[in-house]
Amino acid sequence: MAKLIERKIEKLGLTYDDILLRAEYSEMDPAKVNVASNLTKKIKLKIPILSAAMDTVTEAKLAIALALDGGLGIIHKNYSAERQAEEVALVKRFESGFVEKPLTLSPANTLRDAREINKKYSGIPITKDGSSNGRLVGLLTSKDYYFDDPDTDTIDKYMTTFDDLVIDYEGITLEQANQRLKESKKGKVLIIDNDKDRRLMSIVCRRDLEKNYDYPNSCKDENKRLRVGAAVGVRDYKDRAGLLIKAGVDVIVVDTAHGHSKNVIDAIKDLKKNFDINIIGGNVATKDGTEALIEAGADAVKVGIGPGAICTTRIVTGVGSPQASAVLECVEAAGDIPIIADGGIKYSGDIAKAIGLGANAVMIGGLFAGTNEAPGETVITEDHRVYKSYRGMGSIGAMMDGSADRYFQTIPGEPNVKKLVAEGIEGMVPAIGPLADHLYQLIGGLKQAMGYCGAKTIDEFQKKATFIQAMPGTASHESHPRVDILKDAPNYPRRT
């Protein structure tokens, strides 16, 4: 029988700071390494990065910016299911081949109605009954009207009517539709079912063609629409998932603080039984937890208990697992099912370590919360420094707004501040500008790491990478600069 100490205290757990990748012989030019990775067996990422399902990190704007650069955002669920589905739809409509179910109006709608849509989309298909697959009667673009009398003037007076539109039919390929756009020199091809019914099936937009050239590395589905994920909890997951799937979501994350629990396992099983959709389950930090979620049907497993920048789970509950060890343990248990290392990424080197340990992707919250695209409020301090708010989904504020079920606490809709036990804090991070610039540095660091280790691809890197464990407490000190910083480096903020 093992001694009590061996049974009670399992083993040494290591954080990213406790290990370093070992440099190996290399013929690799870091600029030439390929960082594409599999999120699930079906979904490929061009860069191995997800954004966290947090209400100060991922809404449509950040998810679009991330997918344009090859990653994938997970829309948070601190919204009604309808609003969350609309955020998903915004991403799916952003850059598309065929935009199915575009926003439409009827000829009787007013110019004021049109203006609301034209703020986001330049052209509005007009259908007889205003529905997104009604009989097509025209197209209204923002250039077709002024605002003489926006509340009484109706669209029928201003729209281009059916006979003057560029029309094609269901079954046309994307290449053919693009060719029609080029030849017609118009902004949109409208796809209908047939000449008799003229039901609107989808549209193809010139602006999307242009975006395809601008962002050759974007993460897209088979219809050339940007990919996006969304979180669900363990309570209203079925209805929510139904709406998200209708909106075109690519992957659903059953997002909880403790994935190795009955209701998470049941939710995954139930979703897999009822929908044909990729599911990520989490969070776990152990072999048993990983195996349980895979057995339930998860297509990928998310790992991390307590490493996040705003997390207090380890402090408040005493529960957690140092992230590097947790990732390694779960990778070993997962076999060919991808692992996502969630939380604790402080620098690009941590991404390299997570992938080198075998994760297929990392999930990032804090490092993205300060970007222009993140939804958090901008905070300007008395000494004129600019920050953005970043809060844990287990913070009181976020739980009051709906995320309490992530921590198996009060039912949303019945908020009672005194009955919540916080597992996160509400804070702020420096504002750091556009996501794209920041991503360039993060991916640049990963590529350099792969160069040091002589790996051309993520798969090769995962297999080849080995680590050196530093003496506890020493690695971090030796690795960081130890002089006063005169000028900030883009990938090493002064606050550290």
**Of 327, 384, 385, 387, whose CA–CA distance to 360 is shortest?**
327
Minimum CB separation of residue 32 from ligand XMP in Å reads 29
Over the window 71 to 110, marking each residue x when it contacts ligand XMP by CB under 6 A and - when it does not, the resulting string is ----------------------------------------
Over the window 382 to 401, marking each residue x when it contacts ligand XMP by CB under 6 A and - when it does not, the resulting string is ----------xxxx------
Among 93, 225, 240, 406, the one annotated catalytic: 406
3-state secondary structure 331-342: HHHHCCCCEEEE
Residues near 8 by beta carbon (within 8 Å), at least 6 away in sequence: none
Examine residue 370 and tell whether it contacts ligand XMP (CB under 6 A).
no
Q: Candidates 271-279, 323-331, 364-372, 413-421 — which segment interacts with ligand XMP by CB under 6 A?
A: 364-372
Please work out, in degrees rounded to the nearest 5, the angle formed at the alpha carbon of residue 156 by the alpha carbons of 155 and 158.
70
Minimum CB separation of residue 211 from ligand XMP in Å reads 28
495 annotated active-site? no
Minimum CB separation of residue 340 from ligand XMP in Å reads 9
Minimum CB separation of residue 321 from ligand XMP in Å reads 12
The correct pick among 45, 322, 423, 445 for binding ligand XMP (CB under 6 A) is 423
CA dist 131 → 102, 134, 170, 314, 427 (Å): 9, 5, 18, 50, 43
Distance from CA of residue 152 to its chain's centroid? 41
311 annotated active-site? yes
State which of positions 23-62 bind ligand XMP (CB under 6 A). 52, 54
Residue closest to ligand XMP (Cβ):
424
Minimum CB separation of residue 29 from ligand XMP in Å reads 30
In sequence order, the β-bridge partners of residue 21 are 467
State which of positions 310-329 bind ligand XMP (CB under 6 A). 310-311, 313
Q: Report the SS3 class of residue 475.
A: helix
d(C-alpha 23, C-alpha 2), whole Å: 38
Examine residue 365 and tell whether it contacts ligand XMP (CB under 6 A).
yes
**Which stretches of the chain bind ligand XMP, using CB under 6 A?**
52, 54, 283, 304, 306, 308-311, 313, 342-345, 363-366, 392-395, 423-424
